[in-house]
Chain A
Amino acid sequence: MLASALLTGLGLGSMYGLLALGFYITYSVSSTVNFAQGSSMMLGAVLAYTFSVRLGWPLTAAAGLALALCALYGLIVEALAVRPFARRGSNAWLMATVALGIVADNAVLFTFGKEPRGFPMYFAGGLTLSGIHVSWLQLAIPAVGLALAAALSVFSRQTRYGKAMLAVVQNPDAARLMGINVPMVIAAAYAASTLLAGVAGIMIAPLSNVHSDMGTLFGIKAFAVAILGGIASAWGVMLAGLLFGVAEALITSFLGSAYTQILSFTLVIVALALMPNGLFGRAQAKKV
């Protein structure tokens, strides 16, 4: 039972982590996040399904266009729901991003329909570990998540653009004076964030069902994971995702499903009470 719980937990956890990386990207650059990250994930899955199954395009083309549209959606989120408020120092972007997510969910409900649809499995086959069949796709999700976390970590610390992004969050005015196009960097971060959510959506779709509501619970859990990991660390977010997934699976396996939501979220609160900056985050000195 332990082995099967671990396998399930790592699989689920890497999905949360992958989605939560989107929170990390925008937070690192602008100290804001798209609270409706779950809707961006759903958009990736719904668009890829529409292009590949309904229109019969090859999966690569379908996924490519779906991801491009997800990135475009990120730009829209930033321009409509974040920038107008953040510019005035208001925190109303919190509500505005949630509202835009609800609009997206309902727009999909009207156009795609309420009926859940099955996304064909594109990585057929897999292997059997301790009696549980694990598909290649389930193995690919943590691999992609960890690779992205590594890439983001290297990008932000080693490259010129990455450093520019970090400079924006540390001191936007100084960054602007240094010739960094601050609004563009923030917009790009939002595009990258929703693109990542789209990747998560397309990878999760064959394991789940495609429908307008598929991202809601995922989005909430991913946000819990992002905070738990210390939102300013790519590695931290991904590892917190894995921890959360494993905790969920262990609680379900050993105590029963009645306790899963109660205990897993209680654990998040306890962890944050003990470590307010998250498991892997560092306290940021606020210079006045």
Chain B
Amino acid sequence: MKKILLLLAALAAQPAWAQDTIKIGLVTALSGQSARAGEAITRGMQVAIDELNAKGGVLGKKLELVRRDDEATPAKGVIAARELLFKEKVAVLFGGLDTPVSLAIVPIVNEGKIPFMGPWAAGTPITKNGAKDNYVFRVSAVDEIVDKAMLQYSQKTFGAKNCGMILVNNPWGESNEKGLTAALSAKGMKPAGIEKFEGNDVDVVPQLTRLKQAGADCLFLVGNVGPSAQVVKSLDRMGWKPPVVSHWGPAGGRFTELAGPSAKQVHFVQTYSFFGKLSPVGEKVMKALMAKYPDVKGPGDVTPAVGVANAYDATMLTALAIKAAGKLDGTAIRDGYYKIGKYEGLIKTYNKPFTRENHDAVNENDYVWTQFIDNQIVPVGMHK
């Protein structure tokens, strides 16, 4: 009996390097409203892991994905993260679909000295978390960079000079209000107006009327899919058709069903699209997705595409970091990310994607501007 107990204790204390496989953890929403996004991240990671394992894995070991559902709530995310870090002993933790969940996990990974890779949540303070010893990396959009890109796109595409903000009244809207104001003032500009609306507002005409009267020639929209649809419906009622440049909220659901035919007027940011001519890496991933998942018959079935693309690249970069580390030690892997040189990925060809100062691999030059055509997210201009 004593022997069995000792054996069990030894197994429980087994460090990551003693396992047969290298476990990569994922904490994300796998149920509820964001389940599709969580599934997209899973697929991106799984396709990358299969590809790596087919080539013999990393450091001679196969990679293994271990998932936990955070139900989009920080408390559940923290429990799941602790379980993966300390019980499953994952080498790297992926996750955080929602910014609040990621922000709750950040202190745990920094304290536990295990790298945390974000393939989705865009909140600026996730990677810029102020920790002296920062273990948090990201291959996804970043609010403050998206805000710069929104301004740049509105000027380049629509010649906008006086944009107004229509933002959902929550911390995400707040974060982008700061980012957009900073982006505008960097160019010596001011917003035509800043208006907020509640997630459940039925009518946003009064807010939009204020922006129209202030002479707004374009709108910056930040809101999840439902609230964004209410803004589009209110614009329809006013018969006002300003260019609408949006964060990626509309991508999170059935935007065309909710907003009606004017949904396609909204141009929103994505990091990748599987439509159009694909790079060799794009073709390889598309083929792998179609082979592994029977419901994927074409680019329209890879939704949300950003989840798949970000997660694929993030997994590949993580494998490179582990390889560079040469061992499964959290700090060594963290430093391994800094050693990554050139890597031809799905979103782009990365060249020294991470440094001690910059933990975000994707920037404003990597964004793709898209719109909804029926139920599919396609790059702007592709649909005539």
Chain A residues at the B interface, C-beta cutoff of 8 Å: 1, 4-5, 7-8, 11-12, 15, 109, 113-118, 128, 131-135, 204, 207-209, 211, 213-214, 216-218, 249, 252-253, 256-258, 261
When the two chains form their complex, are residues B203 and A207 in contact, meaning their CB atoms are under 8 A apart?
yes
- When distances are taken between beta carbons in the complex, the residues of chain A under 8 Å from B34 are 114
When the two chains form their complex, are residues B33 and A5 in contact, meaning their CB atoms are under 8 A apart?
no
Q: Which of B209, B210, B226, B239 contacts A209 (CB 8 A)?
A: B226
List CB contacts (< 8 Å) of B218-256 with chain A: 225-226, 229-230, 233, 236-239, 253-254
Q: For residue B202, which residue of chain A has the nearest CB?
A: A208
When the two chains form their complex, are residues B203 and A117 in contact, meaning their CB atoms are under 8 A apart?
no
Q: Which of B230, B237, B257, B260 contacts A208 (CB 8 A)?
A: B230
When the two chains form their complex, are residues A257 and B207 in contact, meaning their CB atoms are under 8 A apart?
yes
Q: Given contacts A5-B209, A252-B207, is CB(A257)–CB(B196) below 8 Å? A: yes
**Separation of A259 and B337 alpha carbons in the complex (Å):** 47
**Separation of A218 and B213 alpha carbons in the complex (Å):** 28
- When distances are taken between beta carbons in the complex, the residues of chain A under 8 Å from B239 are 128, 131-133
Q: Given contacts A208-B202, A253-B209, is CB(A113)–CB(B196) below 8 Å? A: no
- 29 example contacts (A-B, Cβ-Cβ < 8 A) are as follows A4-B205, A4-B206, A4-B238, A5-B209, A8-B205, A8-B206, A11-B203, A113-B32, A115-B254, A116-B229, A116-B253, A116-B258, A117-B254, A118-B258, A118-B259, A131-B239, A133-B238, A133-B239, A135-B237, A208-B200, A208-B230, A209-B258, A213-B200, A214-B200, A218-B200, A252-B206, A256-B210, A257-B207, A261-B198
**Separation of A109 and B73 alpha carbons in the complex (Å):** 15
Q: For residue A4, which residue of chain B has the nearest CB?
A: B209
Q: Given contacts A117-B258, A208-B230, A209-B258, is CB(A8)–CB(B33) below 8 Å? A: no
The 5 lowest CB-CB distance pairs between A and B, nearest first, are A114-B33, A252-B206, A116-B226, A118-B257, A114-B32
B256-269: CB near A (< 8 Å → 1, else 0) gives 01111000000000
How many A-B residue pairs have C-beta atoms within 8 angstroms? Tell me: 92
Q: Which of B198, B200, B226, B237 contacts A133 (CB 8 A)?
A: B237
Q: Which of A12, A118, A217, A256 contacts B203 (CB 8 A)?
A: A12
When the two chains form their complex, are residues B33 and A1 in contact, meaning their CB atoms are under 8 A apart?
no
Determine how close the nearest CB of chain B comes to the CB of A39; give it in whole angstroms. 13
Determine how close the nearest CB of chain A comes to the CB of B350; give it in whole angstroms. 34
Determine how close the nearest CB of chain B comes to the CB of A29; give it in whole angstroms. 30
When the two chains form their complex, are residues B202 and A12 in contact, meaning their CB atoms are under 8 A apart?
yes
Determine how close the nearest CB of chain B comes to the CB of A269; give it in whole angstroms. 20
When the two chains form their complex, are residues B257 and A1 in contact, meaning their CB atoms are under 8 A apart?
no
Determine how close the nearest CB of chain A comes to the CB of B339; give it in whole angstroms. 41
B274 within 8 Å of A (CB atoms): no
**Separation of A277 and B197 alpha carbons in the complex (Å):** 32
When the two chains form their complex, are residues B258 and A257 in contact, meaning their CB atoms are under 8 A apart?
no
When the two chains form their complex, are residues B203 and A216 in contact, meaning their CB atoms are under 8 A apart?
no
Apart from A115-B253, A117-B254, A133-B237, what 16 extra A-B contacts exist at CB < 8 Å? A1-B210, A4-B205, A7-B205, A12-B202, A12-B203, A115-B33, A116-B229, A116-B253, A117-B257, A208-B200, A209-B226, A209-B229, A252-B210, A257-B197, A257-B206, A261-B198
B195 within 8 Å of A (CB atoms): yes
- When distances are taken between beta carbons in the complex, the residues of chain A under 8 Å from B200 are 208, 213-214, 216-218
**Separation of A203 and B34 alpha carbons in the complex (Å):** 28
When the two chains form their complex, are residues B254 and A207 in contact, meaning their CB atoms are under 8 A apart?
no
When the two chains form their complex, are residues B238 and A209 in contact, meaning their CB atoms are under 8 A apart?
no
Q: For residue A251, which residue of chain B has the nearest CB?
A: B206
Determine how close the nearest CB of chain A comes to the CB of B245; give it in whole angstroms. 20
Q: For residue A218, which residue of chain B has the nearest CB?
A: B200
- When distances are taken between beta carbons in the complex, the residues of chain B under 8 Å from A15 are 202
**Separation of A252 and B258 alpha carbons in the complex (Å):** 24
Q: For residue B234, which residue of chain A has the nearest CB?
A: A8
Determine how close the nearest CB of chain A comes to the CB of B216; give it in whole angstroms. 14
- When distances are taken between beta carbons in the complex, the residues of chain A under 8 Å from B226 are 116, 209, 211
**Separation of A11 and B206 alpha carbons in the complex (Å):** 12
- When distances are taken between beta carbons in the complex, the residues of chain A under 8 Å from B195 are 256-257
Q: Which of B32, B193, B205 contacts A132 (CB 8 A)?
A: B205
Q: For residue B255, which residue of chain A has the nearest CB?
A: A118
Determine how close the nearest CB of chain A comes to the CB of B256; give it in whole angstroms. 9
- When distances are taken between beta carbons in the complex, the residues of chain A under 8 Å from B254 are 115-118
